[in-house]
Amino acid sequence: MSSIVLFSDHHNYFLYSGRVSMRKSFDGLSGIVENELGREVKAKDVFIFLNKDLTHIKILLYEANAKSG
């Protein structure tokens, strides 16, 4: 299921300066946030990742009430 994300001043945005494979899972992106950026994925933080050719984007954000399945 997809969600709509509204960009607003209620979030802190972080653009990852490296390039990532779009095959990387959101768990893998969380690992980059924690291990390379030294941050935690938490509410109000949005992490933006781009691929090598700058043609694809992945956005990682924390949702407290996210349902899986």
If you search the block for the tokens 């690992």, which residue do you land on? 31
Does residue 31 form part of some domain? yes
Does residue 3 form part of some domain? no
pLDDT in tens, 27-66: 999 999 999 999 988 888 999 999 999 999 999 988 777 5
Does residue 22 form part of some domain? yes
Does residue 30 form part of some domain? yes
Does residue 49 form part of some domain? yes
Rg for the chain, CA atoms, rounded: 12
Residue 68 is predicted with a pLDDT of 56
Q: What's the N-to-C CA distance of the chain in angstroms? A: 9
Which tokens is 63 given?
């949702």
Does residue 55 form part of some domain? yes
Q: What is the pTM of this model?
A: 0.80
Name residues whose C-beta falls within 8 Å of residue 2's C-beta, 6 or more positions apart in sequence: none
Is the Cβ–Cβ distance between 10 and 45 less than 8 Å? no
pLDDT category, 10, cuts 50, 70, 90?
A: confident
For residue 29, give its domain range. 12-61
Total tally of structural domains belonging to the chain: 1
If you search the block for the tokens 């768990």, which residue do you land on? 27
